[in-house]
Each structure stands twice: as structure tokens, then as C-alpha cells.
Amino acid sequence: MDMHTVVVGTSGTTAQDVIAVARGNARVELSEAAVSALAASREIVEALAAKPEPVYGVSTGFGALASRHISHELRAQLQRNIVRSHAAGMGPRVEREVVRALMFLRLKTVASGHTGVRPAVARTMADVLNAGITPVVHEYGSLGCSGDLAPLSHCALTLMGEGDAEGPDGTVRPAGELLAAHGITPVELREKEGLALLNGTDGMLGMLVMALADLKNLYTCADITAALSLEALLGTDKVLAPELHAIRPHPGQGVSADNMLRVLAGSGLTGHFQEDEAPRVQDAYSVRCAPQVNGAGRDTLDYAAVVAARELASSVDNPVVLPEGRVESNGNFHGAPVAYVLDFLAIVAADLGSITERRTDRLLDKNRSHGLPPFLADDAGVDSGLMIAQYTQAALVSEMKRLAVPASADSIPSSAMQEDHVSMGWSAARKLRTAVDNLARIVAVELYAATRAVEIRAARGLTPAPASQAAIRALRAAGVQGPGPDRFLAPDLAAADAFVRAGKLVAAVEPVTGPLA
């Protein structure tokens, strides 16, 4: 069932609405103001189309072919042709949630009244979303300049009743059949409308919005698992004191330290770092500097959210219809602002994965774990414990480092050198999605190892923090087993991964800690 109805107006949208439509199947409606703005801008386009002077996107070709003036009788064909020719994607299908976000965000720009699209076209876009029809969009075809051209073209093709789409039952069928089954009349595109449906950063922006939501959860989870590892290693929580972080006032650092401190409140394991079998003056960097690393990542998320909010409030098209009646070419479709933060997020996700893996490795190494059994095994030698779980985590971290190489540092010219500098923002978004998936798995492995280690300490008479106990109970209730002889590990790791992604780790500890940031 739909969560709620999202009303699309003239002034952009919110991240929450994007996620509601993309992931929650929320219903979409156009506001009265949007319908009025659409009608007004369409009048401007039709007036310009009637004039003998050529206007880019209205009565000319596109890109490197913009110098040709197109006669009235060929303009409908021109709009159909641009959609058909640009629907040239290849490779695997893009996820349903990404396509829904892309379609919704294109509707957001259309509804701004700056594109010259008729209200009927915008209503059809909403109808397709509401029917649960998802165009088949392919992995490759966008350079992130002139927008996400091929992905958006495959969506526009569905509006025309052409190409393939997935129905609400998950079956791929010809788009025309799906539209007919839901009583939707295919659109017949007129001047500028084909171009207006293709020119935008909607795909990369949708993926940015969803990545930010996922990473927010993962950063809170990483604060929790870092605290669990500190506890399992008998580390000191003195490094989390607010006064220490106040003298280096990066906001995220203070938030992460506070999260960790609240998770560790009441622990009987912390503070033994100078008393155990391998005393040390201070904890290792991966333990002691967790707030600094996690916090810097949080600050990066905040910056990326600012960029996303600006883009969500934008009207991205070329040319655009201005209120005074001008239709002007511009470069607002260039994806650079979005591409940069997508790459930045892949960098911080890789570093968070890296520090997380180092703590896991420390938990498993008897020379550095301060009395824990080798690999947290039940009977080391007979049992291998979590040895290979750490291998898997290390492999994920290694891939994260490759995914952190920025896509936006690259550019490849296209359209006969007319589009001679591109953002590669779509590519940055696609690799960030993989990075986010990998990070969830990496955090899940630390959770699996740290909870086992804490339970081993508890069996020896030390009392874990109440929040740690709550996390362990919830994890075990979710089917993830605790210490014991070797068993088939993959199902446990998959269950821990699902536990983290679904927000269940945060939900488990917050009744004890209060809301975590």
C-alpha cells in the first residue's frame, strides 16, 4: 500500500519525498500551481514555435545538429526521434528504485514551469509512476552531461508507449501493453517536449539522495560497532570525553564520540587497558581515532546533503523557459556539482570501511586482542573461528578503495566535440551504490565479531554495557548465532548484514542510549 501522497509543486522537492516515491511507492500528484505554471510556459513555447526565427530545442536540431532549422511538419517526428535515438543504453538493468527516483525527479523539473512541457505530459508521467510501471533502463549510456541522457530517454520511450517496462507484478512487457492495461494513453510529443524529458541530472541525483539515507544509518551503525570493539578490546572510553572533542570542534567528530560514549555507558569492560595481560598506555588508532574518522565522514555527508538540497530545488533543463517569456540555452544540465559529492562519499565510505576492518582484525589476532582466543574460535586449531569472515571483509575493503577512485576526474568528449567536457556523474553514482552495499557488509562483519568477543568477555565475568547487551539480544533474536564451534558462516553474515541495513542495530540500542545521531 502507498505510504502517502507526494504533491509536486513548482519549487522543487525534498529528499524525503524522493525516497517515499522511489522506495515506498508513494502516490504522486501535481499541485494546481504546477499545472498553471506548465500551461503558462507551454504558451510561451507555442508562440515561439509559430515564429519563423529558429529557437534551439523548439525549432532546431540538437547538440552538434543544432544549426538546422526544422519545419513545422517535421517537429513532432523530431521529438519522437530524439527519444528513440537517445534510448541507446546497454548493460544490466538499473534497479527499480533508481528508475522511480529518476522519473520522479524529472517530473519535479517539468512541474517547475521552466521546461515548456504541456500539463498532459506531466500528468502522464505521474500516472506511470502511480501505476507502478517502471521503464527498463540500462547501466551504461550517461556521461552525466546534457543530463542522464540514455536513462531518461528509456523513461520517455515508455511515456510514448514504446520499448519495454516492468509492470507492478515484476514482469517485463512491452510498454504499450502496460500503459493500455492501466488505462494510460501514450503521449504524442510536440515542440521541445522530447528534449525536456531527457535533459537532467535526475538519475545521479536520485542515487545521491538514497545513498545519503543509507550512509546516515551506516555511520550510526559504525559508531555502535566501534564502541563494541573498544569494549571487547578492554579499551578506554576516556578518549570520548566531550571536553576533548570540544577543543577540535568538527561537528561530526563530537557526534560520533557522543554516540560511542552513550553506547558504552555502564560498561564493566572499559578501562582495563593498563591492567590486562598486555597492558598499553593507549589504544590503537583504529580504536582511539574512531570519532575523528567517523566524524569527518559525517561532515562530508552533511556537505553532500547541502548539494543535494540545492539540486532538489533546481530546474535542470536546456533550453529553459524564463518567466518573462524568453527561452534561453544554458549549461545547468552539467552534473559536476553532484558528481563531485558522489565521488567524495565513495572516498569517505572507503575510509570508514578501512578503519572498521582494522578493528575486526585486531579482535581476531591473539597478539593484539588482549586475551581473546585466536580468531575468536571455540577451540583454536580445531576451529578456525572468524578467520575467513575477516578475509571477506578485507576483500570488500580492497574493492572499496578501487571504487574510491573518482569518476568526476575523468571526461570524454562526445557529440562531435560539442559536448567536450562531461561530468561522469552517473558513473560516480553507480559505483557509490556498490560502495554503500560493501560498507554495510563490512560493518556487519565488525558487528558479528565484536558481539562475539563481548560475549566471550561476559562469560569470563565482565559485565558489558546495557546498550551492548541490547544489541546482542536483538542480533541473536534475528537469527545470528553467538560463540561456539565452527559452523556455516555465510548465513550468519548475511543475517547480520540485513540487520544493519534495516536499521535494526540502531533501533536495538536507542531504547537504552536515547536517540543517536
The predicted pLDDT at position 494 comes to 98
Length of the chain counted residue by residue: 517
Residue 63, pLDDT above cutoff 70: no
Identify residue 251 by its one-letter amino acid code: P
Helix (H) or strand (E) holding 207: helix 202-232
Query: What three-state secondary structure class fits 8?
Result: strand
Q: Which amino acid is at 114?
A: H
pLDDT value, residue 1: 37
Query: What is the reported pLDDT for 114?
Result: 95
Cell of 275: 591492567
Distance of alpha carbon 290 from alpha carbon 356, whole angstroms:
9
Least confident of 53-57, 153-157, 214-218: 53-57
485-498 burial: b if 16+ Cβ within 10 Å, else e = eeeebeebbebbbe
Is pLDDT above 70 for 81?
A: yes
Predicted local distance difference test score (pLDDT) of residue 64: 62
Residue positions annotated with a catalytic role: 56
Residue 14 has pLDDT above 70, yes or no: yes
Q: Which three cell numbers stand for residue 98?
A: 533508481
Q: Pick the residue with more confidence: 372 or 76? A: 372
Measured between alpha carbons, how far is 232 from 110 in angstroms, rounded to an integer?
54
Phi first, then psi: what are they for 507, rounded to 5°? -60, -30
CA dist., res. 21 & res. 311, Å (int): 17
| pLDDT given at position 259 | 98
Chain center to CA of 148: 16
DSSP string, 69-114: BPPGGGHHHHHHHHHHHH---EEEEPPHHHHHHHHHHHHHHHTTT-
pLDDT of residue 62: 65
Q: Which residues contact 48 (CB under 8 A, 6 or more apart)?
A: 55, 58, 59, 327
Record the pTM. 0.95
Mean pLDDT lowest for which of 98-112, 171-185, 311-325?
311-325
In 3D, which of 336, 318, 307 has the Cα closest to residue 421?
Answer: 336
Work out the percent of the chain whose per-residue pLDDT is above 90: 86
Give percent of the chain above pLDDT 70: 98
Q: Which ranges constitute the DSSP H helices of 91-201? A: 96-110, 119-130, 149-159, 175-181, 193-196
The predicted model gives 478-483 an average pLDDT of: 97
**Maximum distance among all Cα pairs of the chain, rounded to whole angstroms:** 89
Residues 6+ apart with CB under 8 A from 79: 189, 190, 191, 192, 193, 194, 195
| 8 Å CB contact between 116 and 327 | yes
Does pLDDT of 2 surpass 50?
no
| Nearest C-alpha neighbor of 130 from the set 28, 268, 281 | 28
According to the model, what pLDDT value does residue 3 have? Answer: 58
Taking CA atoms, 26 is separated from 18, 103, 130, 156, 245, in Å, by 9, 13, 8, 21, 41
Q: Give residue 52's pLDDT.
A: 82
The average pLDDT across 71-94 equals: 92
pLDDT at site 280? 81
Task: Read off the pLDDT of each residue in 90-95 and give the average, rounded to a whole number.
Answer: 98
Q: Over range 173-192, report the average pLDDT.
A: 97
Task: Give the model's pLDDT for residue 492.
Answer: 98
| Average of per-residue pLDDT across 341-351 | 98
pLDDT tens digit string along 384-416?
A: 999 999 999 999 999 999 999 999 999 999 988
Element (H, E) at 338: helix 336-364
Distance CA 112, CA 41 (A): 9
Residue 275 has φ and ψ, to the nearest 5°, of -120, -15
Handedness of CA 101, 103, 108, 109 (dihedral sign): positive
Measured CA to CA, the distance from residue 112 to residue 42 in angstroms comes to 12
Q: Give the whole-angstrom CA distance, residue 433 versus residue 420.
A: 27
Residue 205 has pLDDT above 60, yes or no: yes
Return phi, psi of residue 89, to 5°.
-70, 155
Mean pLDDT of 449-469: 98
Tens of pLDDT, residue by residue over 226-241, are 999 999 999 999 999 9
Residue 130 to residue 242: CA distance in whole angstroms: 49
pLDDT band at 272 (very low <50, low <70, confident <90, very high): confident
Query: Poorest-confidence range of 17-31, 206-220, 319-333?
Result: 319-333
